[in-house]
Amino acid sequence: MGRPPRADEANGIYHMLNRGNRREPIFHKGEDFEAFERIMEEALERSQIKLFAYCLLPNHWHMVVSPEVDGEMGRFGQWLGLTHTQRHHAHYQSVGDGHLYQGRFKSFPVQDDRHFLAVCRYVERNAYTAGLCDWPDQWRFGSLWRWAHGTKSDKSLLAAWPIPRRSNWVDFVAAPLTDQERQAMQRSISRGVPFGDEAWVTRTVRRFGLESTLRGRGRPATLPKSP
């Protein structure tokens, strides 16, 4: 059975993620997170891709990116995953012990409006949601910490956002998601449904042949209007 289609067009915005095989840890200590960040920096240097947001968790990671040429997200993700797997096994002397990741990374397109902010907020609050820190910007292994507390070099890894952050961004990230926001995000993560308003989702699904992501899942991933 062939792989499902994946949108990967220049200047699009995408949420990409991957998990450890059987949801087992891929990072066991602080040095593992740091090693992955170095690999991520290498991958960005060799790729034509922008990184807007990311968060590393013990058994998975999230990124919000934009390729600058068609197909670049796939090349970036493949090199990142393969290099991380090879170095992980070499470090832990675990070559031959099986797959590190559950498979190739997942991704879905994101509309460049408030839906982009919603995805970045979701990504940057992941460690806080998981109870790994007392406040979202305290988690060292993510873009929010780099943006709020990092050096000029730390911040240089991140691309300028296509739309401005909301004021009091860290407080906004810490605020609980609504049930509707959470359900919409999980639908996109689990099925690859484009994340945006209904008309944009319909156009995006048709352009990239992503109809299978909507089958049996009801309405597309929309958010309530901002107050």
Q: What value does the CA radius of gyration of the chain take, rounded to a whole number of Å?
A: 17
Q: What residue spans define the domains of the chain?
A: 13-207
pLDDT computed for residue 98 by the predictor: 78
Mind listing the pLDDT tens digit for each residue in 50-60? 999 999 999 99
Give CA–CA dist 43/61, Å, rounded. Answer: 15
Predicted TM-score (pTM) of the model is: 0.93
pLDDT computed for residue 226 by the predictor: 46
Q: Which residues contact 108 (CB under 8 A, 6 or more apart)?
A: 7, 14, 15, 188, 189, 192, 193, 194, 195, 213
The yes/no answer on whether domain 13-207 falls in CATH 3.40.640.10 is: no
pLDDT computed for residue 94 by the predictor: 85
Give CA–CA dist 16/188, Å, rounded. Answer: 11
pLDDT < 50 stretches in the chain? 1, 217, 226-227
